[in-house]
Structure 1
Amino acid sequence: MKKILIYLVAFVLALSPLYSASASASQTTKLTKPVSSGTTLYQYTHQGAYTNQISHLSINLNDPYTKVEVGLPSVYGGLATTTALANSHSSDGHRVVGAVNAAFYDMSTGYPLYLISQNNEIYNGGILAKNASGYVSYPIAFGVTANGLAEIDTYDFAVTTVSKLGRIPLTGLNRQRQQDESILFTPQHHTTATNSNQYGVEYVVQTDEQITSTYFGQQLSGKVVQIRPYGSTQKLDIPKNGFVISANGAQAAKFESLQVGDAMAVEISINEKWQDAEFMLASGPMLVRDGQRHITMDTSSSRAKEVAPRSAIAISKDKKTVHFVTVDGRLSDSKGMNLVQFADYLVSQGYDRAINLDGGGSTTMAYRNHGSNNVVVANRPSNSGGAERRVSAILEAISTAPLSDAKTLKYSRTNVGTLLVDSTSTVTIEYVLDQYYNPLPVSSSNISFKSENGYVAFTNTTIQAVSAGTDRVQILYNGKAVESFPITVTDTPGAMAISGSKDVVKDAATTYTLAAKDQAGNNLVYSPSQVKWSVDGDIGYINQDGKFVATKTGTGKIVAQLGNTSTSMTVTVMDKAIFTDVPASHPYYKEVSYLVEKKYITGYGDGTFRPEQTLTRAHGAVIISRVLKLDTSKIKDPGFKDVKASHTYYKEIAAIQNAGIMDGLNGNFNPEGQLTRAQMAKIIANAFKLEGISSIQFKDVPKSDWAYEYVQALAANDITTGYGGGIFKPNEKISRVHFGLFLYRVLNQ
């Protein structure tokens, strides 16, 4: 039978693949989610020629409550997103639980391009591509046939006129006429007029009754009542009780002898396989046939070679399982596939037949998420921001299952762990599903809780630990237990530890927290208000939020009591740091503070002491002069060439020299020179008239060393013990803090 589609071309089967199926391809399942009793969503990461993210809805037509339908907009040529279309078609007893974008369409008009029908009613007559480089150059459709089975196969659609001229096939139905075409227009055309140009002839045929639908198996009979001749620009309306034959070129010549008053009949037919089908949707190319790659377009064309997002429908060999499949593309973690790669992927999944759908930016998979009757996007469309593209038709997985008793329930809890007596945990019900995954309403009137052993009680959705023991909480929906979980209550915490600073500065505040485990080392749930805080020792006070304020220096304990168990932490309260770089925790904080208090040492203008900085001879002279309280008002010029009377520390250096504590070399004092430990020993021994020989003999300061008697004097008076291994390090530069340490020891013998 001659096809009515305008560009019928020879069937092209691609034999030379762009890429062959990769033996090293692998696939990881990321998600398995039943969305109804017969439909399950799967999501995969597939590693083949590229990494791709794949979404897959498996639809079992054996399930008595599961079917597949075509989803169309309410207005012909209307466009809507996949989710919007699906949700608009969903209702009680007819829930859309999954959807995929489907039909190719003219993006300038919104009109679908290829054949679509429902229960024989023809929604769109369709065309074919001019050549094999187009996606749909061969009449192939997906649908559900009259026996309720899924099908992907060719179709034979024809419109034939019967008149005194004999049987003349037409080339199209309810679409714009092209050159050398003959088109049938019925009242179901999307406009009321043919809107054909003047380069053809149009025959108006009136029937006895109004034509209320256009469908497969239809026969229309009437008489020619008007002929619009070639060249006429008259707008020709399609009568409600009739039809119009519009012909051009060679096709028009076939009707030249037809006259007003002649009888004319039209037969609209589809081959037997598709007659009375629940629906059919033409698309292409076919990708898989009999479990093998079978591509009905030129695989060397740019469209076939493009690596892009893809959509397809596949079916099982027994035609009882339908698969919606999408591959994301043009994304950083999902490049997409060309048609050969896509076909090979579908073959690898074991599908018997598969047909390509509109892809690219239209590629969208949707599913009913648990707890809602609305479908949401499952994949990531490639449009900017992941936005869905509006499309002209979709395919839908439908659940007709009725609402039934609750079967599954998802909940979450605050404070998961062993509960301390008087602590609480709150349960949130996220959703309740029946056996068909239909969401059930959740409210305080249908959710309740029950304790099996009575160790916990309930206030609405809050669990209150009452007494120690092991219990199980049941979650009931309309009085029937749907879910449960174990719960343990204790009155005796196990391990407890206080967290917070062990060193606190006087007049400062710090907060302590308590971490507790049960006897088995598991997380213990309790309220902060259950912790009783106290202070052992007269060092400050603490409130019940664990905030401690230090009021006196000294050592005490922070005590935390939880239930019948307590723990403590030793805390030392110190004076405020005098310098920013000598905090109260500094090992020589006490010594530095003492020398500052006595005004023997000072810091720098930026608030630092710079304890590790080496000490200069000038600064050593200043400090010793302060400690010894030398009179700097009556001094004799020491005659140092590098310490003039204008020098900042001239008086202190002169006083030290006059007292015989420090001297220069070759007429210079070298005020910026850095003191060594040996020089420090001499200065302190001279300044404080220290003498003696210690039992400690330093290996690096033998008796022959000039500093021997000074180092020994310090050791004999317990001012130094040197370093481990019996060494003193006499030539090492002395830091400001170590010089202060030696002074402190001398002054506090």
Structure 2
Amino acid sequence: MNVFKRQFVFLWVLALVLLVPKGAEAVSLKENGRTTVSPGVVRRELSAKIGGRNHIVDVIQVDLNNPGADLQVMAGAGNYTRKDTVSHMANRTDAYAGINGDFFNMSKQGAPFGPSVVDGKLQSSPLESVGLFAFGIDSGKNAYIESFTFNGRATAQDGAHYKISGLNKTDYIINHTQVPSHKDSIQLYNDFWTAPSRGLRGSGEVLVDGNFVVERISLDKPLPMVTPKGKYILQVNGRAKDFIRNHVKPGQKLRLDYRVSPDRNWRFLIGGHALLVNGGRPQPYIMDAASIDGYRARSAAAISKDRKTVYLVATEGRTKKSRGMKLDEWAATVAALGVEKAINLDGGGSTTLVARGHGDFKNTKITRPERNGAERRIVNGIGVMNKAPKTALSAGEIAGPRHVVLGEVATYKLGKAWDSNYHPIKVENVGYSLTDSTFGEGAWIYSRFLSPKVGKTDIVLTTTGGVKITLPVDIQSPAALKSFTLAAKDSGNTITLAPKGVTKAGRSIAIDPAQITWTVEKGAAKTDTSSWKAPGAGVKEPAAIFRQEKAEGAYVAYKANFGPNTASYVKESPGYAKVRMIVGKKNFTFAGENRTMDTTPVIRNNRTLVPLRFLMEAYGAEVTWDNEARTAIVNYKGHTIALPANKNEATIDGNTVALDVGATIQNNRTMVPLRFIVENMGMEVYYENSDRSISIFQKIN
């Protein structure tokens, strides 16, 4: 070993010592929960504390000993150069979980940096640059993370040969030589590369069929085509062009041999970036990290020491779940999982981890891209596959509310179903019946539960195959409602009122009218609260039907009392004009016409006071003010009423009567007791407590 080599080794060891991540000894992991995704696949959520900050770290843990668990490279929209999101890739390939994969140049056609084996076939070579690693699984389902090289050769019919430098690569700069990747090289492209442009612009190209027969040679410019199915295009530059010019002719054989090393009969292989963990310890990041360090969203693939457990790990960046981690913090966090080796996957805006819930046919995002941004379209990802056989339905989930209100008509159904190996089952193909553990048949109308008593029960769904599924339900009192209303349909003398509510949790509900106390004021009606439940009637809206038999004045009020809640519907009789005011508001209506007052109705001593002039003049009365006597005088239909201010008395056609609340002055307007004025003017009044509205009716002559 010469002096230069000894100095280099010393400096490299020193660098390793100095660059060991500072956070390596300061990671605290706590598991918040875990669930099985599919056989041998577990989803875990962890809280990680490092550098004084808390982060949520999501993990998909895969047991390769389980025959049902396997991994697959998901390539864009099915090929390279056609990028796609992790969610789309996972759903397209029927993956049960998925994570973003290799790094790629966002400005180029769209191919990964590293090697990849897709469906058992090598579809990309590693960059010639040093320091990059890849993650693979061999034919014996053993996981490896190691550095890869590519070996390829093109052999002409005359025996001459030339090195093939890469498979399906964009052009790049080789990091340890600073030489352009495509200089003097043969770059190979198969039909997995779907873009019409390849590698370095302006290069010569050769078309070779699946039997290695040369079909076309174009040394001055690229071939104007995508790579045909089952064929190859060789892109040639510099001395590689001379090789083709001197040794290859159309119609001749050009043998193409290539492989990656190490070659372990890979069933799965995907590239990444530098190592994060080696030998169970976090590693210094040896690749140029200037553009990828900082507090970012992160993702990684890791393996156990026995090569039988795979960890797909991710954390968000610049979200509520995680501010993001620096590379040294990320290495320390992944190492704290107890892994043997880990590789850094693409991060930042590419970071996405998805997984299926039980019974779901599509994946849900668990770890979102940086800043909760939209998913980035990327070149490949890692799919977690469920290879276990499909079986009969074994479990499911009931769709419907867990908290209901007394009297609520709550609909329940089979929401999701899955077999013993977690394959989802279409619920529309499953027959079942519904009941509950407390009340039984009488509390059910079809699939709707009428919640007849406050307390707890279990909704019980039984499939035709005998599988029982339960859902605990809490029945709350009517006090759980935020609002209570009646949806009305008025058809002459038939009034249909559907009780509705909105819970304090914000859920809109329908209510069984038979569990409501109804009253009819100023009239009479036959009441029907149960016909909506009749067999053969189909699924109808819960509603009470009133057949009005008589009205005793300007209106008939249908009132519903439901615990502390009240609601009403007022059916107005013909032949009346109406003024409608609202306590505390200046706007009012007369005969449906919008008007405005300069003061508002008020409530004092439980009496409603209204502006005298605006009310009476709306009906055509004459209202004057005797300033000396401080008395308001109303002349209406031959009657005269005098109302002195601030006195608990009034004079009607010369007769003095006592008032419990007298007229008063507000904002220079005379305010009078509503009930006194309307009762002595032959009017009728209806007060709605729910919105504090006052309806005043006057018979039209």
Same fold, TM exceeding 0.5?
yes
Partner of 1:594: 648
Q: Distance in 1 between matches of 2:401 and 2:241?
A: 78
Where 1:439 maps in the other structure, the secondary structure is coil
- Corresponding residue to 2:426 among 425, 429, 441: 441
Letter in 2 for 1:404: T
What are the residue-to-residue correspondences of 1:274-673 with 2, within 5 Å?
274-298=263-287, 301-331=289-319, 333-382=321-370, 386-413=373-400, 426-443=411-428, 446-449=431-434, 455-457=440-442, 458-463=444-449, 474-484=460-470, 527-532=512-517, 583-585=604-606, 594=648, 603-606=664-667
Partner of 2:147: 154
Seen in structure 2, the aligned counterparts of structure 1 residues 369 and 180 have a Cα distance that, compared at 3 Å, is same
Letter in 1 for 2:461: I
Letter in 1 for 2:665: Y
Where 1:334 maps in the other structure, the secondary structure is coil
Q: Distance in 1 between matches of 2:560 and 2:222?
A: 97
Residue-by-residue CA offset, 1:481-507 (whole Å, 9 max, x unaligned): 322468999xxx99999x99xxxxxxx
Q: 1:26 offset after TM fit, Å?
A: 4.0
Seen in structure 2, the aligned counterparts of structure 1 residues 322 and 417 have a Cα distance that, compared at 3 Å, is same
Q: Distance in 1 between matches of 2:96 and 2:196?
A: 36
Q: 1:392 offset after TM fit, Å?
A: 0.9
Q: 1:291 offset after TM fit, Å?
A: 0.8
User: Could you state the TM-score of these two structures normalised by the residue count of structure 2?
Assistant: 0.59
What are the residue-to-residue correspondences of 1:248-267 with 2, within 5 Å?
248=238, 259=247, 267=257
Where 1:70 maps in the other structure, the secondary structure is strand
Letter in 2 for 1:284: H
Where 2:67 maps in the other structure, the secondary structure is coil
Partner of 2:45: 43
Letter in 1 for 2:102: A
Partner of 1:58: 61
Contact 2:317–2:370 under 8 Å retained in 1: yes
Contact 1:138–1:296 under 8 Å retained in 2: no
Partner of 2:71: 68
**1:86 corresponds to 2:107:** no
Residue-by-residue CA offset, 1:446-475 (whole Å, 9 max, x unaligned): 121357798534432124689999997631
Contact 2:27–2:333 under 8 Å retained in 1: no
Q: 1:386 offset after TM fit, Å?
A: 2.5
Seen in structure 2, the aligned counterparts of structure 1 residues 139 and 158 have a Cα distance that, compared at 3 Å, is farther
Contact 1:36–1:436 under 8 Å retained in 2: yes
Give the unaligned 5+ runs of structure 2. Answer: 1-10, 172-179, 484-498, 502-509, 528-543, 545-551, 553-558, 564-581, 584-599, 608-644, 672-701
> Identity across aligned pairs (percent)?
20
Seen in structure 2, the aligned counterparts of structure 1 residues 410 and 183 have a Cα distance that, compared at 3 Å, is same
Partner of 1:614: none
Larger CA Rg, structure 1 vs 2: 1
Residue-by-residue CA offset, 1:334-374 (whole Å, 9 max, x unaligned): 22112111101101111111111111111111111333211
Q: How many residues of Structure 1 are paired with residues of Structure 2 in the alignment?
A: 518
Contact 1:456–1:467 under 8 Å retained in 2: no
Which stretch has the larger CA shift, 307-316 or 165-174? 165-174
Residue-by-residue CA offset, 1:180-224 (whole Å, 9 max, x unaligned): 54224365584789886789xx89798xxx436xxxxxxx7x8x9
Where 1:604 maps in the other structure, the secondary structure is strand
Which stretch has the larger CA shift, 28-37 or 330-339? 28-37
Where 1:308 maps in the other structure, the secondary structure is coil
Seen in structure 2, the aligned counterparts of structure 1 residues 399 and 156 have a Cα distance that, compared at 3 Å, is same
Letter in 2 for 1:297: I
Letter in 1 for 2:445: T
Seen in structure 2, the aligned counterparts of structure 1 residues 19 and 287 have a Cα distance that, compared at 3 Å, is closer
Seen in structure 2, the aligned counterparts of structure 1 residues 27 and 205 have a Cα distance that, compared at 3 Å, is closer
Where 2:55 maps in the other structure, the secondary structure is strand
Letter in 1 for 2:311: H
Q: 1:171 offset after TM fit, Å?
A: 3.4
Which stretch has the larger CA shift, 235-244 or 59-68? 235-244
Letter in 2 for 1:68: L
Give the unaligned 5+ runs of structure 1. Answer: 1-9, 91-95, 130-136, 213-219, 501-512, 516-524, 546-550, 552-557, 563-575, 611-749
Contact 2:401–2:473 under 8 Å retained in 1: no
Q: 1:160 offset after TM fit, Å?
A: 4.0
The CA RMSD measured in Å over matched residues stands at 5.6
Higher strand share: 2
Q: Distance in 2 between matches of 1:257 and 1:415?
A: 76
What are the residue-to-residue correspondences of 1:195-274 with 2, within 5 Å?
210-211=209-210, 233=220, 235=222, 246=236, 248=238, 259=247, 267-272=257-262, 274=263
Letter in 1 for 2:62: I
Residue-by-residue CA offset, 1:544-571 (whole Å, 9 max, x unaligned): 99xxxxx9xxxxxx99899xxxxxxxxx
Q: 1:323 offset after TM fit, Å?
A: 1.5
What are the residue-to-residue correspondences of 1:664-743 with 2, within 5 Å?
none
Contact 1:205–1:244 under 8 Å retained in 2: yes
Contact 2:187–2:234 under 8 Å retained in 1: yes
Where 1:57 maps in the other structure, the secondary structure is strand
Contact 1:581–1:609 under 8 Å retained in 2: no
Q: Distance in 1 between matches of 2:383 and 2:305?
A: 21
Seen in structure 2, the aligned counterparts of structure 1 residues 47 and 113 have a Cα distance that, compared at 3 Å, is same
Q: Distance in 2 between matches of 1:496 and 1:309?
A: 45
Letter in 1 for 2:276: L
What are the residue-to-residue correspondences of 1:177-192 with 2, within 5 Å?
178=181, 180-185=183-188, 188=191, 190=193
Seen in structure 2, the aligned counterparts of structure 1 residues 448 and 388 have a Cα distance that, compared at 3 Å, is same
Q: 1:283 offset after TM fit, Å?
A: 1.6
Contact 1:290–1:352 under 8 Å retained in 2: yes
Residue-by-residue CA offset, 1:203-248 (whole Å, 9 max, x unaligned): 9798xxx436xxxxxxx7x8x99998xxx63557999888758353
Letter in 1 for 2:260: I
Seen in structure 2, the aligned counterparts of structure 1 residues 180 and 78 have a Cα distance that, compared at 3 Å, is closer
Residue-by-residue CA offset, 1:381-429 (whole Å, 9 max, x unaligned): 126x631110111110011233323333322555957979xx8654243
